[in-house]
Amino acid sequence: MRDIRFGIIGCGLMGREFASAAARWKHLLRMSARPEIVAVSDVNPDAMEWFEAPFATSNYRELLAREDVDAVYVAVPHNLHEQIYCDVIRAGKHLFAEKPFGIDLDAATKIIECMQEHPDVTVRCSSEFPFFPAAQRIVKMVNEGAFGKIIEVRAGFCHSSDMDPLKPINWKRQVATCGEYGCMGDLGLHVLHLPLRFGFDPLNVRALLSKIIEVRPDGKGGMAPCETWDNAILACESSQGFPMILETKRISPGDTNSWYISIYGTANSAEFTTKQPKTLRTMPYTQGQNQTWREEDLGYTSAYPTITGGIFEFGFPDAILQMWASFVDELAGNEPKFRCATPDETLASHRLFTAALESYKTSQVVALA
C-alpha cells in the first residue's frame, strides 16, 4: 500500500478529526493508499501536543518546505485561506481545504487562479455529509432519473451551537476573520455540495438573513458585538426550473448538527436528515395509488467498503473517514467512488453567497453573475 505523507496546518477540531481518520485507516478495505501524518503546524504550540507527528512547527512555511510532505490539510479561519492555500499550491503540495475556500468571492477566485497556474496539484474541499449512506442513495436516484420531473429541492445545515447567549465570542462572529457571509460561509458548502453536483445551479436568490444575538461576552469581563449573520434562508430558482430552499443556521432550536436534503418529484420523492442517520424516506408515486412515505433503515452501506457489518450504524466519524478515503484514492491515481467537493463548486457557492448579501441589502431577488 502506498503512503501519502500529509502535513496539517491548523491543529483544532477538524485537524484532530483527520488524524483520527488516518489512525482508523485499517477500517477501510481494499484501499491502494493511506495517509501518514508526518508534520503539523499551528500558531498555538499547545494545540500541536495532541498530535504524534515527527515534525511540529508554529511556522507553516517550514512545513511546506519539507520534501517529505506530499499533501496538506488546512483548517484555519477564513481570512487566512487565500494566503495559506496559495502558499500550499505554489509549494507543489496537494491541498485538502476547508470551506468556504476563501473569505469572499475575490479570495476564492484568486485561489483558483493560483491552481490554474499549478495544474499538477490536486485541490479538494471538505464536505463529509454526502457520504452518509442515505445521501449516497439519493445520489444514485438522481443519476438514474428516479424522481421524474423535479418539483422542489430543500437542503440545509442547522446548528444550535450558538443558542447560549453567554457563549464567549469567537472568530466566527467577527467579519474580519469569518467574512460577511457569516453562517453561509461557515455552513453553506455543506448544503450546496449535492445540489451543485447534480447540476441544480441557482440562477437567482432572495435571501433572509438574521442576526439574533447582538453581543456576547468578550472573555475579558465585557461584551463584544456579534458582526456576522447567525441564520440564513435562501430561496433560489434552479437552472432546471424548479425552486430550491437552502438554509444555514447556527441558532436552530432542537438541532445539534443536523444536515438534510429533500427532493420532491412527480415520480418519486426522497428525504434524509442526519437527525435520523440510518433512515431514508422515499415516496414513489404511481397514478391512481395512494401517496405513502416509505422508511428504510440502510445500515452501514458506505461508498468505500469497510470492516463494519452492514447491520450496524453509520455516523459522523464514518463520513469523515469516507471523505478522506475519496481524496486519498484520487491522489493515488484512481477514480474516486464519489468525488469530494471541487474548487469549481466552492466558487459557485461564493457567487450565491455574494448575491445573497446583495439580496438582503436591497430586499430584492438578485440574479447570479
The full set of domains in the chain, from first to last, is 2-125 (3.40.50.720), 129-314+343-362 (3.30.360.10)
Q: Please state the rounded mean pLDDT for residues 46-56.
A: 95
Q: Which three-class secondary structure string do you get for 20-64?
A: HHHHCHHHECCCCEEEEEEEEECCCHHHHCCCCCCEEECCHHHHH
What pLDDT does residue 215 have? 95
Give the dihedral sign, CA 210/202/141/321. Answer: negative
From 6-10, 123-127, 289-293, the region with the lowest mean pLDDT: 289-293
Q: What is the pLDDT of residue 359?
A: 98
User: What would the pLDDT profile of 303-322 be if each residue is shown by its tens digit?
Assistant: 999 999 999 999 999 999 99
The answer to whether the bond into 100 is cis (omega within 30° of 0) is: yes
- pTM of full prediction above 0.75: yes
What is residue 361's predicted lDDT score, i.e. its pLDDT?
98
CA 313 – CA 66 distance, rounded (Å): 40
| 206 DSSP β-pair partners | 235
Average pLDDT over residues 278-307: 93
Residue range 285-292: mean pLDDT, rounded: 83
Q: What percent of the chain has pLDDT over 70?
A: 100
Cβ proximity of 99 and 127 under 8 Å = yes
pLDDT digits 0-9 by tens, 346-369: 999 999 999 999 999 999 999 997
Residue range 236-253, pLDDT digits in tens: 999 999 999 999 999 999
Instruction: Give the whole-angstrom CA distance, residue 283 versus residue 270.
Output: 6
Sort strands 71-74 and 2-9 into parallel, antiparallel or unpaired.
parallel
pLDDT digits (tens, 9 = 90+) for 195-206: 999 999 999 999
- Residue 363, pLDDT score: 98
What's the CA gap between 70 and 116, in Å, rounded?
19
pLDDT at residue 81, rounded to an integer: 98
Give the strand order in the sheet containing 150-159.
294-297, 279-282, 269-273, 257-265, 150-159, 243-249, 231-238, 202-210, 366-367
Query: Using one digit for the tens of pLDDT, what is the confidence trace for 56-106?
Result: 999 999 999 999 999 999 999 999 999 999 999 999 999 999 999 999 999
- Mean pLDDT value across residues 30-35: 97
Length, in residues, of the chain: 369
* Confidence label for 288 from pLDDT (cuts 50, 70 and 90): confident
pLDDT grade, residue 289 (50/70/90)?
Answer: confident
pLDDT score recorded for residue 358: 98
Q: What is the mean pLDDT of residues 44-66?
A: 96
Average pLDDT over the chain, rounded to an integer: 96
